[in-house]
Amino acid sequence: MAKKFFSPGKTHNEHYRLLIEQVKGYAIFMLSPSGIITSWNTGAEMLKGYKAEEVIGKPASIFCEPGNEHRKVNEALATALRKGHFEETGSRVRKDGSHFKANIVITPVYNDDGKLIGYSNITRHISEQFTEDDLVRSSDEFRILADFLPHVVWTANSEGNIIEWNRSFYLFTGLDPEMIKDSRASHVVHPDDVEQLRTVWRNSVLSGSDFEIEFRLRSKEGEYHWHLGRATPIKNRIGRVIKWIGAAMDVHEQKMSMEKKDEFIGIAGHELRTPLTSMKAYVQLLQKALEATDLNTSKKYADKIHSFIDRLNMLVSDLLDISKIHRGKLPLEFSEFSIDDFIRDAVEVQQTSIKTHWIFIEGHAGVKVRADKLRLEQVFCNYLSNAVKYSPGADNVSVIVEHSQGWVTVTVKDYGIGIPAAQIKQVFNKFFRAHNKKSNIQGLGLGLYISSEIIKMHGGSVGVSSEEKSGSTFWFRLPVYSAPGPDGVAGENQNPSSFHA
């Protein structure tokens, strides 16, 4: 056993003595070989409530619980002598009679000659609980933080009963904090999710393990939103759950967009496979026609294959455009050109492939625009091909070109199936297809989204009006281009700075 040596005033300098005397977090005092208190530091005074003059010369047993205190002190000192130290965590008494939990270490101290000169006693207060002030302060801080968060936050007791909700919960559900004294949320949880939520929560409370579940919560507007709920138990030092803290995050948008993406992948797969299947069939027919050296029929089949390749090419381009738009990397090459010439040329090209409808141009703008010609053609052709695609019973489409107050508007009007009023606001949304389920008309629901993004990148705007079974009118608007004058200042028709939504 290694002995510790202590020579007051010889091996320990004055600074060291002052240090020990002034330590506040620990009660450090010396006992004589018979257990009488011989020194007393500031920490001891603070922890036990006695001043040095009140305890020096008294037996250490005054700090023990009443009962067989002398025997306990003697046993502790004997153990310290035998083992080199004594350690215990237990209850101690303050001067005012109150009890506190402490960790005590007693070590024998020897002089240079190896003679026992006493014992050092270091007592550390162990806080089993926060003080009342601590609790009030930390729960106030928690409440401020919880109310500040945009997510729903709650606390529950060890039995799993809700103690309180934060501000976001009341804001989202529209419930009155005064009204829901029972703090139950089950009436704002979707009826289909209540049972599972209860089961998972009950299991977590019983096992003391983390809680996690997705469930739908009803908003004050009466709509259910998907939430990701999580809770974790707060345990005391001995591992018993004393409280739960939980939070729920609104994941509705993410969940819906995941669903839309899944649906889109299905549609895209189908759309890509259709022309591929047709191409395979026509390639087989072409082979047969070639074997029979029937050149006319071979040419017919080759043209068919060509049109399916164009379709595939368009689909793949749309997919690539979407990815470029998302990354903000859709490059535009601007040039200035007459909008009237542009529309006339584009209609001429389109009319050669559109056999079912006549395209009529009305109006005349007489101005130039500054735009990426190919991208603008993509927008215009998308409007035109939709007008044809969604008006199978009609035989004409009108294109109207106008110029007013610094803006050029190009309108494509058809006399087709129209769009239900409830869906019209969404037609420019990504992946949206108004006629997806009802009709056999193919599409990815990307063309109008891409068109509106392209027009917005030009500082313009898009819009639609429609009536079911009567037809639709789609338009896009661009700022008129006006070349700067000799002084470098733009003329009257300078692009307006206001932005059309």
Query: What are the residues binding ligand ADP (CB under 6 A)?
Result: 382, 386-387, 390, 414, 416-419, 427, 432-435, 443-449, 472
Distances (CA, A) of 173 to 218, 324, 477: 6, 39, 41
CB contact set of 356 (below 8 Å; sequence gap of 6+): 388, 392, 395
Q: Measured from the CB of residue 284, what is the shortest distance to ligand ADP in angstroms?
A: 28
For 486, counting Cβ atoms within 10 Å of its Cβ (0-12 exposed, 13-18 middle, 19+ buried), the class is exposed
Q: Smaller CB distance to ligand ADP: residue 41 or 473?
A: 473
Task: For residue 451, give the DSSP letter.
Answer: H
Q: Shortest Cβ distance from residue 420 to ligand ADP (Å)?
A: 9
Cβ atoms of 138 and 130 closer than 8 Å: yes
Residues recorded for the chain = 501
**Contacts of 421-430 spanning 24+ positions with Cβ under 8 A:** 421/468, 424/464, 424/465, 424/466, 427/464, 428/452, 428/462, 428/464, 430/260, 430/322
> What 3-state DSSP class applies to 148?
helix
Task: Please identify, using beta-carbon distances, which residue of 305 and 446 lies nearer to ligand ADP.
Answer: 446
* Min dist. Cβ of residue 246 to ligand ADP (A): 41
Sorted by sequence, the CB contacts under 8 Å of residue 411 that are 6+ apart come out as 398, 399, 400, 401, 402, 473, 474, 475
- Residue 470 C-beta: closest distance to ligand ADP, Å: 10
The least CB distance from residue 259 to ligand ADP, in Å, is: 18
Sheet containing 99-110, strands listed edge to edge, beginning at the edge strand earlier in sequence: 26-31, 116-125, 99-110, 86-93
Per-residue DSSP letter, 4: P
**Minimum distance of ligand ADP from residue 443's CB (angstroms):** 2
Between 80 and 446, CB nearer to ligand ADP = 446
Please report where in the chains the tokens 């090459």 appear, as a residue. 333
Name the DSSP letter for residue 485: -
Nearer to ligand ADP, 305 or 434 (CB): 434
State which residue, 155 or 472, has the beta carbon closest to ligand ADP.
472
Identity of the residue, 184 or 326, whose beta carbon is nearer to ligand ADP in the bound complex: 326
Kindly tell me the sign of the dihedral angle through the C-alpha atoms of 158, 164, 166, 172: positive
Q: How far is the CB of 446 from ligand ADP (least distance, A)?
A: 5
Contact 52, 45 (CB under 8 A): yes
Q: Which residues are 108's β-sheet partners?
A: 119
CB of 489 to ligand ADP, least distance (A): 40
C-beta of 375 vs 433, nearer to ligand ADP: 433
Phi/psi at 7 (5° precision) = -125, 100
Residue placing its CB nearer to ligand ADP in the complex, 228 or 394: 394
Residue 20, beta-bridge partner list:
none
Beta strands in 297-404 (DSSP E): 335-338, 358-362, 368-371, 396-404
Nearer to ligand ADP by Cβ, of 301 and 431: the residue is: 431
Between 247 and 419, CB nearer to ligand ADP: 419
Q: Which is nearer to ligand ADP, 109 or 446 (CB)?
A: 446
Q: How far is the CB of 435 from ligand ADP (least distance, A)?
A: 4
CA distances for 380 relative to 176, 362, 415, 462, 481, angstroms: 53, 15, 17, 11, 19
CB of 185 vs ligand ADP, minimal distance in Å: 39
Nearest partner of 38 among 27, 52, 25, judged by Cα: 52
What is the Cα–Cα distance from 276 to 315, expressed in whole angstroms?
12
Closest separation in Å from C-beta 439 to ligand ADP: 8
Nearer to ligand ADP, 235 or 270 (CB): 270
Residue nearest to ligand ADP (CB): 443
Provide the minimum distance between the beta carbon of 457 and ligand ADP in the complex, in angstroms, as a whole number.
Answer: 17
